[in-house]
Chain A
């Protein structure tokens, strides 16, 4: 079905957009490196491929006059999702160009901002590219070469968006979202639980509850374990002695 295909492709584009944004936030900071620039480049190219694929599919579907009204409403909704995704991508690409130009890597003294982030972004990039491990094969001067490519790509994306606006007549304000406010809370529980585990020291009252809970659970388990061991030892001793 065209709709399901579209949805999976949109989900993929959404995932890559989120990962790309995550990578761009690391630009210019201490987690910046040649690898990061390469990751950005690869993610960007993947995003563009997905974007083009999505666009052709959706325009084909929307141009088809023989679809029902519900179907058309659904496709318009998907179209709005697509354009929002492209908006985010476009802004992120422009910002990455700006920041990339301000923070070159091949200078004698790097002045990367010391933000406290020291880990690498390989896992995020791997998630974006849907691979297990990232392979890095770029040259040493990727930061300057890539920027030129980036400029051309930005121009391409701009052009694509203009074409989209011209060719497809979809009124975004007429689209009604399927999710209501607060819909994200009812979703996959896994997202909620694991991120609650982070100590939120950013708040005024440091919430160590969850961490504390885990701690007490561990202590409790430890106590029970040692108690069981003790009882087993005592029983064994008694059995042996009796």
Chain B
């Protein structure tokens, strides 16, 4: 009962196209006439052939591909994907276009997406290294070793047996070959199981099936393309000059309300640890702040978003005898955002209260929408009351909302609203508690570089001036 990791979804994996290209390039480097110039590598006593310098590689690439700047870059790919490995600093997988030595990797250890390196192989490699180094593995290798021991514990005996046997098999070769074998295997695992913190070249995210699924260029495909392009053409486009204008207007309107740009009175709780600001702007406060009340006049959504605004608006509507609109709207919101299980009963309630003919708080919806809604009520779902809600919303927005803004109720509230005082630190009378204890980015541009306390207090004074203007 082994899990076959070789094929995914029954489809044989393909070698990534870029890897096939790199392989072809490596093979063409082996050409006896046109290939790369190889030298011998001299270690104390042994001489190992088939080494090349980085400069040779880059030169060959320039000549073969008739490029100049990209040669180093392509050479880097060859090293990073493990087709060529460095001899002096094996952990540093980069191509240096100088005298540093490199060697080719044997085809078995080439990077392959068809046969990815498996955990069992890695465990065997670490066990071999453990034996060779008498237990002196590098930190991350030790961790991997322990993790693998836990994960594939059931085959651990096999790992040990196979590691020993592989070492015995390699002892049969002569010394030069043994050295090369070790270097090759090490280079392979440095590419396939990179040390933590180094680039993992095969980290390319979830596998895409584009290699195997080919798009059929038939009539169906072209019809879909045409439809898609037609819809894109019909999209509503706005000239950037126009939308930028409205964007600037929006920013200007909201700037005094932004705590970062303008600072907030009495003080920013995040900086001064004084929660007065939040307390003054809470839902159930008797006297709201001026900024808050002003904000309600920006748009109907602002009014409805603020719970206090909603309450005030309800009071006004009650005077006008159209409170049922707002109640209906609120009930619809509740249906939309509430629990799924309660939807049928809520919808039923709404129908009984607002939509049924002769209901106590009957809302005025046009006949078409009413028919559609009643039809949908037979199978209630979350969005069944959407059309009716939208109708009432626009009704309120066009009709009641502008009148509310002109009403005495609103105007008196605006007059009553307070502008909170900046909190002053009473300990040192000449040291004011800054509204922005850390200079906000917007103000840094206003104040000059040499900011003594005087400059800061000046800016504060000017700001408090603007605040009182509001």
Contact B182 A198, beta carbon cutoff 8 Å = yes
Contact A87 B120, beta carbon cutoff 8 Å = yes
Contact B135 A182, beta carbon cutoff 8 Å = yes
Partner of B2, one of A83, A184, A192, A202: A83
Contact A191 B131, beta carbon cutoff 8 Å = yes
Partner of A116, one of B48, B135, B160, B169: B48
Q: CB-CB < 8 A to A52: which residues of B?
A: none
A41 adjacent to chain B (CB < 8 Å): no
Inter-chain CA distance A204–B138, complex, in Å, is: 13
Q: Mark B114-133, 1 if CB is under 8 A from A, else 0.
A: 11001010000001001110
B235 adjacent to chain A (CB < 8 Å): no
B95 adjacent to chain A (CB < 8 Å): no
Residues of B within 8 A of A (CB): 1-2, 6, 26-28, 30-32, 38, 41, 43-44, 46, 48-51, 87, 89-91, 103-109, 114-115, 118, 120, 127, 130-132, 134-135, 145-146, 149, 153-158, 160-184, 186
Inter-chain CA distance A14–B130, complex, in Å, is: 19
A172 adjacent to chain B (CB < 8 Å): yes
Would you list which residues of chain A between 119 and 144 have a CB under 8 Å from chain B? 119, 121, 123-124, 126-128
A27 adjacent to chain B (CB < 8 Å): yes
Q: CB-CB < 8 A to A199: which residues of B?
A: 43-44, 46, 179
Partner of A191, one of B87, B167, B186: B167
Q: Mark A140-174, 1 if CB is under 8 A from B, else 0.
A: 00000000000000000000010001001111111
Inter-chain CA distance A117–B300, complex, in Å, is: 80
Task: Report the nearest A residue to B145, measured CB to CB.
Answer: A181
Inter-chain CA distance A174–B1, complex, in Å, is: 12
Q: CB-CB < 8 A to B115: which residues of A?
A: 91, 94-95
Q: How far is the CB of B193 from chain A (nearest CB, A)?
A: 16
Inter-chain CA distance A97–B177, complex, in Å, is: 24
Contact A114 B169, beta carbon cutoff 8 Å = no
With A18-B165, A117-B177 already in contact, the answer to whether A81 and B157 are too (CB < 8 A) is yes
Task: Report the nearest A residue to B128, measured CB to CB.
Answer: A184
| CB-CB nearest 6 A-B residue pairs | A28-B107, A18-B165, A177-B156, A123-B172, A114-B50, A116-B50
Would you list which residues of chain A between 172 and 207 have a CB under 8 Å from chain B? 172-185, 187-188, 191-192, 194-196, 198-204
Contact B172 A173, beta carbon cutoff 8 Å = no
With A109-B31, A165-B1 already in contact, the answer to whether A177 and B155 are too (CB < 8 A) is yes
Q: CB-CB < 8 A to B41: which residues of A?
A: 116
Q: CB-CB < 8 A to B32: which residues of A?
A: 109
Q: CB-CB < 8 A to B118: which residues of A?
A: 91
Q: How far is the CB of B314 from chain A (nearest CB, A)?
A: 65
Q: How far is the CB of A38 from chain B (nearest CB, A)?
A: 17
Q: How far is the CB of A99 from chain B (nearest CB, A)?
A: 5
Q: How far is the CB of B141 from chain A (nearest CB, A)?
A: 13
Q: CB-CB < 8 A to A170: which residues of B?
A: 1
Contact A192 B107, beta carbon cutoff 8 Å = no
Q: CB-CB < 8 A to A95: which residues of B?
A: 108, 115
Q: How far is the CB of B379 from chain A (nearest CB, A)?
A: 49
Q: How far is the CB of A238 from chain B (nearest CB, A)?
A: 42
A85 adjacent to chain B (CB < 8 Å): yes
Contact B130 A85, beta carbon cutoff 8 Å = no
Partner of A29, one of B28, B106, B132, B167: B106
Task: Report the nearest B residue to A16, measured CB to CB.
Answer: B165
Contact B132 A192, beta carbon cutoff 8 Å = yes
Contact A127 B169, beta carbon cutoff 8 Å = yes
With A14-B165, A81-B155, A199-B44 already in contact, the answer to whether A192 and B134 are too (CB < 8 A) is yes
A118 adjacent to chain B (CB < 8 Å): yes
With A172-B154, A184-B160, A198-B179 already in contact, the answer to whether A25 and B120 are too (CB < 8 A) is no
Partner of A204, one of B26, B91, B131, B163: B91
Partner of B182, one of A14, A112, A177, A202: A202
Partner of B164, one of A27, A98, A184, A194: A184
With A124-B169, A181-B149 already in contact, the answer to whether A11 and B161 are too (CB < 8 A) is yes
A21 adjacent to chain B (CB < 8 Å): yes
Inter-chain CA distance A22–B163, complex, in Å, is: 12
Q: CB-CB < 8 A to A30: which residues of B?
A: 50
Inter-chain CA distance A15–B178, complex, in Å, is: 18
Contact B184 A25, beta carbon cutoff 8 Å = yes
Considering residues A14, A185, A202, A203, which has the most beta carbons from chain B within 10 angstroms of its beta carbon?
A202
Contact B167 A118, beta carbon cutoff 8 Å = no
With A81-B161, A95-B115, A115-B180 already in contact, the answer to whether A172 and B155 are too (CB < 8 A) is yes
Would you list which residues of chain A between 1 and 40 have a CB under 8 Å from chain B? 11, 14-15, 17-19, 21-22, 24-31
Contact A115 B155, beta carbon cutoff 8 Å = no
Contact B154 A196, beta carbon cutoff 8 Å = no
Q: CB-CB < 8 A to B169: which residues of A?
A: 15, 18-19, 22, 124, 127-128
